[in-house]
Amino acid sequence: MYITEIKENIRGIKVLLTFLFLMLLLKNEAIQAQDEALSYTASDSIVLVPDSSLVFLYGNVKVLSGEIELTAHRVVYNTDLKEACAYGTQDSLGNWVGRPVFKQGASIFTQDQLCYNFNTQKGFSHHAVTSEGELVFHAATSKRLPGDQIHVLNGKFTTCDADNPHFHFHLTKAILYPDDKVVAGPLYMKFRKIPTPLALPFAWFPLNQEKRSHGILLPSYGDGGNLGFFLKDLGYYLPIGENLDTRLLFDIYSGGSWALKNISQYNYRYRSNGNFTLSYNRRVNGFPGMPGFGAENNFFVRWAHTQDVRYRPNRRFSASLNFGSTDIFQENLNSSMEDYLSNTFQSSVQWSYTSPRSPFSLTTSARHSQNSLTGNVSLTLPSATLTMGRRTVSDLFGLEKGRSNVLDGISVSYVSRFENVAEISDSALAAL
């Protein structure tokens, strides 16, 4: 009996030892495979420290692991921790050489210093810079976490590509999701090192222009001549459902001029598409109390609508609306060269119906033409045209064909048009 129990215990111990051996074997194979997945090269030298897990690499260092590529002037790699610390260097003029560049997929980050653990996928960097399209993101201190999250302290978000941006949003703290968005805490606008009162408690910046995600739109910066320096197209983008989106944009000039604009777009597949723009501008020339000072307010409305030819083939509706202040193109802060040289703008709205069971069709429209030089406005409201297609007399009276050669040879068509036209000055129209 005791011998049987001893044999069973020995058998259990053998099974346990076999299991532990297999676990160690699998662990060693996993570690070996992980080592093989990481490779590094250097153009200058590679120094292995005896009785240490540190490897020092110098000169055009490149470390590869999966989709991750790390390049730098100097790298210290810990083989036990699977951690690489990368550094750049400065020449005698203070210019950076071989700054660490971290590439993962389509994301590229350049920084002064970086430490990254290939096991935990965590990293820490100083003075990192990355670009997403026209947007540039600077991070004084950043911490990379698994799952493509980068936590940032004292960041800069801008569209200026200078090393020291002329303007930027200063982010006290933020989370960057590469190729997706930036979620920021308290932030404010700065010109160089000068803070401005333009501040927000939090903000959401979309990065991927192909995705429809709401968020703040960064402005462009420039010199507007007599109007002063400007920030243009600062605003917010908001998608509304799958078929509609809208943008609220704001321009501001150091000379006191400003503009507010709303642009909405819609697209219903196989039905219709269009856009609507409403803008209001205040243009200030000179300084109050000085000769030549003046201020001008103007507005403009645009609407363009197109119906898909496959949607209701017998009924068509289209619109092209352009209406606003007479001097809008000359005084508008955002006029294109084509608009600036134009002295007229026109509008038209049209609806038409073609009867499938009769030769009749009806077209109604409203038209508007405005001359910015003379101030005259021409309104055609409404305009209607009734048309009957060419038909033989026999067809019109329902007679059998061949019964009367005379009637079969006579064709009739009909067009009737009605228009109400008014000529009025823009000042009189505004007084109505």
- Whether the per-residue pLDDT at 66 is higher than 90: the answer is no
Q: What is the mean pLDDT of the chain?
A: 81
pLDDT digit string, tens, across residues 221-249: 777 777 888 888 888 899 988 889 999 99
Q: Is the separation of the CB atoms in 57 and 77 below 8 Å? A: yes
For residue 408, what pLDDT is reported? 65
**Spatial separation of the C-alpha atoms in residues 18 and 12, rounded to whole Å:** 10
Q: Is the separation of the CB atoms in 382 and 365 below 8 Å? A: yes
**Spatial separation of the C-alpha atoms in residues 150 and 228, rounded to whole Å:** 37
Q: Which residue spans within 269-331 are E strands per DSSP? A: 272-285, 294-307, 315-324
pLDDT digit string, tens, across residues 296-345: 888 888 999 999 888 888 889 999 988 877 665 555 555 555 665 667 77
Q: Which residue has the higher pLDDT, 25 or 5?
A: 5
State the Cα torsion 146-149-150-153 to the nearest 10°.
-120
For residue 36, what pLDDT is reported? 47
CB contact set of 400 (below 8 Å; sequence gap of 6+): 394
- Whether the per-residue pLDDT at 10 is higher than 70: the answer is no
Q: In the predicted model, what is the mean pLDDT of residues 22-32?
A: 39
For residue 248, what pLDDT is reported? 94
Which pLDDT band, with edges at 50, 70 and 90, does 280 fall under? very high
pLDDT digit string, tens, across residues 138-158: 999 999 998 888 999 999 988
For residue 207, what pLDDT is reported? 77
Q: Which residue spans within 159-243 are E strands per DSSP? A: 167-177, 181-184, 187-191, 194-200, 203-206, 215-217, 220-223, 229-240
Task: Residue 143: count other Cβ atoms within 10 Å of its Cβ.
Answer: 14
